[in-house]
Structure 1
Amino acid sequence: PAYPPATLLKLYLYGYLHQVRSSRRLEAEAGRNLELLWLLQKLTPDFKTIADFRKNNAAAFTAVLRQFNQLCRQEQLFGGQLLAIDGTKVKAVNAADQNWTATKLEKQSVRLEARLQEYLAALDQADREEGPRPVAAPTAAQLQEKITRLRARQQEVQASLATIQREGVSEISATDPDSRAMRTKGRHVVGYNVQGVADAKHHLLVTTDVTHAASDQGQLAPQAQAAQAALEIEQADVVADGGYVKSQDIKDCQDAGLEVHLPAVQNSPSERAGQYGKADFGYEPERDVYHCPGGAELSRQRELQDKGRTLHLYAHARACASCALKKRCTNAAHRTISRWEHEERLDRMAAVVAAAPEKLARRKTIIEHCWGTLHWLLPGGFLVKGLKKVRAEVSLATLAYNLKRALAVLGLEKLLAGLAKRAAAVAPA
C-alpha cells in the first residue's frame, strides 16, 4: 500500500523546519531520528518515494498553506489592515557558467572557432611532418579527438543561439531552463525571484509566489490582489519599495480598494542630473496647464502611446528660449512635461504617503526579516529544478515559517486546539 500523504507531508514539514530537505537525508533521518520515528509511527519511506511526493504535489502544498492560513485567520493572527510586499532572489540549481545570453554565446562561438582553426592547422602540420615527434606534442589521433569535441560544443552553442532567437528570450540556462540571471545585493545569481506579502499584525506571510522575472516592477498589483483575495478583505494599505513603482499597478490596486504607499522615485533624466523635476512644476487641472519654476505656462501639445499608456505632453518652446533658469531645467531646446492620463492616481498616492509616512517606514520591519528566515529555511538555494517544483519548495518553506510564527504567538496548546477545530470544520460530513 502507498504511504499516507499526511505522513509524507509531516516528514517534509519537519525537514524544512530543521534544514533537512534532500530526499536522501530525509530517508536517513526517518530511520534514525527519534522525533521522526515517533512522528511517522516508524514508517520509513525510501528517498524515491519522498522525492516523488514533492515533485508530484506542488499544487497540494499551496492548498495546505492556504488551509493553514485559514486557521491563522480563524485565530485572528492576520490584521488585514497593512500589508507589505517585497521580493528576494534565491539561487537555482544552475551554475553561473551554465547561463548564457546571445552575446555570451556569440563570443564563445568565436573563441571555439579560433581554437578549432588552431587544432586543424596543427593536425595539418602533423600530417606533413615525417620522423619522430617531440614527446610533449599531441598525436594526430589526440588532435582529431579535440577537434571532434570542439565541433560538438560549437553545434551546442549554435543550437542554443537558435533557441534564443526562436523563442524570443534574452537568455537560457542549461541545468534549470526556467531560472534566470538576476542581480541581488551587488552580486549576480542565477535563480528565481520569490515574491511575498506579509501582514503587519504578526508578520505572517499571506501569500508567496515565484517568478523568473528579474525585476519587481509589475508585481505590485498581482501580489497585492492575491493577498486581498486570500484574506477576503475589501480595503487595506499596501507598502512596498521603489522597485515596485508602476503607474498601471498603482491604479489597479486603488481600483481594488488597496491604498498604495510607495517612495518617490527619481525617474526622469533631469532629476537624476540635479535639474528641476516634475514636482517643481505645478499643475492646474481647471485649465489643464503646468506652471514652471520660471513662471511660464506649459500647455498640452500632443499625446503619445508608451507601453500601453496614454501620455499627454506639455511644453512652451518660446518661453524656454529666453528663460534665465533654462540651464537648471533642461539641456534640450525646451522642457517637455509628460502627464499620464490617470496622473491623478499618482497624486492620490503621494497624498496618502504624505498623510501617513509612518506606514511606509514600517515596511522593512514587517517583511524583510521574513526573507532572512526563508533563506535560513532554504540554505544554499533551491534543490529542485523548474518553476513548478520551485513553487512547491517555496510553499513548504512558507508553511514552515508561518507555523513557527503561529507557534510563537499562540503557544502549543492553543495552536493544537485551533488545528483540531479547523480539522473538524473541513472534515466531510
Structure 2
Amino acid sequence: MSKPGKKVHNQVVFKEYNQNQLSLPIDLECLIPPNHMVRVVNSALDQMNLEPLLAKYPGGGRSSYHPVMMTKLIVYAYADKTFSSRRIEKAARENIMYMWLCGGNSPDFKTINSFRGERMKDVLVEIFSEVVELLHKQGYIKLENYFLDGTKIEANANKYSWVWGKSTKRYKEKLREKCRELFEFVDLANQKENEEYGDRNLEELGEEKPIDSQAIEEAVKKIDERLTQNPKEKKFIKVKRVLLKDYLPRMKKYEKQEELLAECNSYSKTDTDATFMRMKEDAMKNGQLKPGYNVQIGTENQFVVGYSIHQSAGDTSCLKEHLEELKKNLGGKLPANIVADAGYGSEENYEYLAQENLGNYVKYNTFHKEATAKGKPDPTLVQNWLYDKQKDEYTCGFRRVLRFKYIKTQKSKRGYRSTIRVYQSDDCQDCPYLKRCIKQSNNPDFKKQIYINPKGNELKAEARANLTSEYGLKMRSLRPIEVESVFGDIKGNFGVRRFILKGLEKVKLEWGLHCIAHNMRKLAVVLG
C-alpha cells in the first residue's frame, strides 16, 4: 500500500507530480538566494544617481519602460554572460532572476538594443563613475594604487577588408603624377599658372600646390570652356572623359580614406574606426594583423576603476590620454600611485606623472636588462658606462671613449619634443668586442654613436629608485595579480575576445558594460 501523497508504480515510489496544483511561494523573490549576483546588481543600482539617464527622455508619446529597470536588466545580463539582445529578451521572459529584476516587464530585443545603443551611449561613463564612487564609499577601493595595463581585442570587422595609410599615400601620389601629365598634355597647367601667378616663378611662390579633387574639377571646367569654343576638339573630349570617369572618383576615394585614417595607419572597411593590430590570440602563429582596438584598464583590489579605448596599437601613447579621461570621471582627482609595465615608460609619460604629483611606479624598456643574469653589469649597455661630466664624454665597457658631437631634437607622434645629445667614438675597428657591440662592424668607416637623453635619463633614475624600493617591489608583485586577473576574467571566463558592436563610440559602450559587469561579479564574490 502506497504512502499518502505518493504514487507507486511497480513498487517504485515517486514524489507527487501535479501541474495544476497551486504552490507557494507566489513571490519570485523568495526563490532568489541571499547575496545572489542579481540582488547585488539591484541593490547597487538603487544606490546610484541615474538622473543623467532619466534626462534622456524628453516626455510625450507612448509610455516607455523605466530606464532604471532597463539598466539593471542589461548590467545583470552582461554580468551573467548574456550579451545578445535576443537572449536577454528570452531570459526576461523565462529566467526567474531576470523576471524578478524586471518586475514582470518583458521588453523585446529591439527595445533592449535601442536602449543599449542610443539611451546608454552618452551616459554610460557617468553610470560607471557612479559604480566606482559606490565602491569607494563602501571601502572596496581607496583610489590609492592604480594598476594600468592594456590588451588588444578584435573588432567586429572583416579582417581582409583593410586600407593602409602608406598605400593610400602612394596611390594618391601616383594619381597626382598622372594628372600633371594629363594637364601638361592639354596645356592646362601652364594656363592655370599664368592666370593665377602671372610672371612669378615657382621659386618665388614656394612649393607647387598639390593636385586634389578640387583641382581636377577646376581642370574640367577649363576644358568645358575650351569645348564651347571648339566642340569637336577630340583631345579635350578624351581628357575630360578620363578625368570625370577615372581620376576624379579615385582622387575623392583617396581623400576620403585619408580623412578616415586621420592619425591611424590603417582601418577596416567594415569598421572604419578599427585599426589593424597584432593580437595575442594568434591561432595560425604567423603574426597576422587583425582589425581591433587597444583596450586600457586600471584596477585596484581587482575592481575596474577606469577604462579607455584607443586606436593606437602601442601602450606608450595611451597613458596620458587614459589618465586625463580617468581624472574627468573621478571629479578632477587621480589615484596617488600609478603602477604599469615597461610598455608605458617614456620621457613624456614620466614628465606627465611628475606634473600631476603622482607616484611613479612605471617600468621602462631596459629596466630588466641593466644587469646580466649573474648580476654583473652588461658592458654593451650605455647605462653601465662611465661618464666624465667635466669632459662631457663616455667611456664604454671596453674602454673606448665617445665624445660629444651635436644636439638633435626628436618629436614623438603626439608632438612631444625631446632633446638628444649625440656622442661618437674616435675609432672602434681594433676593439676585440667590435662585432658584439656594433652590428655594422663590417663597415670600416663606421663609428659607434650613442644618443643620450639627459632629461629622460633623470626621470628614469627616479622611476628606478621607486621601483626598487620596498614599496615598489610590493607594487611590482601586485601588478600582474591585479590587472591580469581582470583581463583573465573578462576575456577568458566570459569569452570577450571580439566586440559585438561596431564603431569607436559603440565599442566604448560595450567595454564599459563589461567593466561594470565585472565589478558587479567581483562585488557579489566579496559579499558572498
Report the TM-score, using the length of structure 1 for normalisation.
0.74
Paired position in structure 2 for 1:386:
503
Distance 1:159 1:15, change over 3 A: farther
Counterpart CA distance in 1 for 2:380 and 2:165 is 39
Cα separation, 2, equivalents of 1:234 and 1:288: 40
**2:251 and 2:86 mapped to 1: Cα distance?**
37
C-alpha displacement of 1:367: 0.4
Q: Please give the per-residue CA displacement for 1:263-301, whole angstroms capped at 9, x wherever unaligned.
A: 44259xxx9xx9712212234556654333244554432
Deviation at 1:197, TM superposition (A): 0.5
> Quick one: distance in 1 between partners of 2:390 and 2:486?
46
Cα distance in 2 between the residues matched to 1:297 and 1:22 = 66
**Equivalence for 1:242:** 342
| 2:473 aligned with 1:357 | yes
1:69 corresponds to 2:132: yes
2:317 matches 1:209: no
What is the rounded CA distance, in whole Å, between the counterparts of 1:82 and 1:9 in structure 2?
A: 30
1:248 positional shift: 0.6
Equivalent position amino acid for 2:451 in 1? S
Q: 2:103 is matched with which residue?
A: 41
Structure 2 matches for 1:81-160, cutoff 5 A?
Answer: 81-101=144-164
Q: Which has the larger radius of gyration?
A: 2
Q: Is the 8 A contact 2:89 2:107 kept in 1?
A: yes
Matched residue, 1:304: 408
1:173-184 equivalent positions in 2, closer than 5 A: 173-184=268-279
Distance 1:399 1:276 in 2: 48
- The yes-or-no answer on 1:339 pairing with 2:452 is yes
| Pair 1:342–1:105, CA change in 2 (3 A) | closer
**SS at 2:498's partner residue?**
coil
Distance 1:284 1:6, change over 3 A: farther
Deviation at 1:405, TM superposition (A): 1.5
1:219 corresponding residue in structure 2 = 318
Q: Deviations over 1:359-382 (max 9, x none)?
A: 223221110110122224464522
| Superposed CA offset, 1:143-195 (max 9, x none) | xxxxxxxxxxxx99997655334555532312221112211226243221111
The residue number in structure 2 matching 1:329 is 437
Please say if 1:278 is aligned against 2:386. no
CA 1:369–1:305 in structure 2 vs 1: closer, same or farther (change >3 Å)? same
Give secondary structure in 1 for the equivalent of 2:305: strand
**Contact 1:164–1:170 under 8 Å retained in 2:** no
- The Cα of 1:12 is off from its aligned counterpart by 0.3
Question: Aligned letter for 2:481?
Answer: T
Cα separation, partners in 2 of 1:342 and 1:73, compared to 1, 3 Å = same
Structure-2 change in CA distance of 1:379 and 1:313 (3 Å): closer
Taking only the aligned residue pairs, the percentage that are identical comes to 23
Residue aligning to 1:164: 257
Matching residue within 272, 293, 301 for 1:192? 293
Q: Find the aligned partners of 2:514 and 2:400 in 1 and give their Cα distance.
A: 58
Q: 1:261: Cα distance to partner?
A: 2.8
Which of 396, 403, 412 aligns to 1:292? It is 396
| 3-state secondary structure, aligned to 2:514 | helix
The residue aligned with 2:421 is 313
Following superposition, the deviation at residue 101 of structure 1 comes to 2.8
Superposition RMSD in Å: 3.4
In structure 1, C-alpha distance between the alignment counterparts of 2:133 and 2:390, rounded to whole Å:
49
Match of 1:300, SS state, is strand
Which residue matches 2:357?
Answer: 257
Q: Distance in 1 between matches of 2:321 and 2:158?
A: 30
Shift of 1:319: 5.6
Which residue of 22, 26, 31 maps to 2:93?
31
Structure 1 segments unaligned to the other structure (5+ residues): 107-154, 412-429
CA-CA distance at 1:236 after TM superposition: 2.8
1:414 aligned residue = none
Structure 2 unmatched ranges of 5 or more: 1-62, 170-247, 283-288, 372-377
TM-score relative to the length of structure 2: 0.61
Q: How far off its partner does 1:390 sit?
A: 1.0
Once the two structures are TM-superposed, the CA of residue 239 in structure 1 deviates from its matched residue by 2.2
- Which residue number corresponds to residue 112 of structure 2? 50
CA separation in 2, counterparts of 1:365 and 1:55? 33
Instruction: Find the counterpart in structure 2 of residue 407 from structure 1.
Output: 524
TM-fit CA distance, 1:40: 0.8
Question: C-alpha displacement at 1:48, in angstroms?
Answer: 1.9
C-alpha distance in structure 2 between counterparts of 1:373 and 1:345, whole Å: 35
Contact preservation (8 Å) 1:87, 1:216: yes
C-alpha distance in 2, partners of 1:183/1:198?
A: 24
Matches of 2:359 and 2:391 in 1, distance apart?
28
Q: 1:196 to 1:48 in 2, by over 3 A?
A: same
Q: Comparing both chains, which one has the higher relative contact order based on Cα–Cα distances under 8 Å and sequence gaps of 6 or more? A: 1
1:14 and 1:235 map into 2 onto residues whose CA distance is 28
What is the alpha-carbon distance in structure 1 between the residues aligned to residue 385 and residue 102 of structure 2?
67
Deviations 1:289-333 (A, max 9, x none): 433324455443211111142333242533646656544433463
- Over 3 Å counting, the alpha-carbon distance change for 1:226 and 1:291 in structure 2 is farther
1:95-150 residue CA offsets vs partner (Å, 9 max, x unmatched): 212334368899xxxxxxxxxxxxxxxxxxxxxxxxxxxxxxxxxxxxxxxxxxxx
Matched residues, number: 360
Provide the C-alpha distance between the structure 2 equivalents of 1:234 and 1:287, rounded to a whole number of angstroms. Answer: 43
Residues 1:3 and 2:33 are matched in the alignment: no
Q: Distance in 2 between matches of 1:94 and 1:367?
A: 27
Change over 3 Å in CA distance of 1:288–1:406 after alignment to 2:
farther
SS at 2:466 equivalent = helix
Aligned equivalents of 1:227 and 1:103: distance in 2? 33
Aligned mates of 1:380, 1:299 — CA distance in 2: 51
**CA 1:40 to 1:177, structure 2 compared with 1: closer, same or farther past 3 Å?**
same
In the aligned structure 2, how far is the partner of 1:156 from the partner of 1:49?
A: 40
Contact 2:143/2:334 (<8 A) preserved: no
The CA distance in 2 between the partners of 1:321 and 1:327, in whole Å, is: 10
Aligned to 2:77, the other structure's residue is in SS state: helix
Q: Could you say if the C-alpha distance between residues 25 and 381 of structure 1 is closer, same or farther in structure 2, counting changes exceeding 3 Å?
A: same
Instruction: Say if 2:385 and 2:397, in contact at 8 Å, map to a contact too.
Output: yes
Provide the rounded CA distance (Å) in 2 between the counterparts of 1:171 and 1:162.
Answer: 14
Check the 8 A contact 2:409/2:420 in 1, yes or no. no
Task: Kindly indicate whether the alpha-carbon contact (under 8 Å) linking 1:378 and 1:397 is maintained by their aligned counterparts in 2.
Answer: no
The SS at the match of 2:394 is strand
C-alpha distance in 2 between matches for 1:395 and 1:364:
22
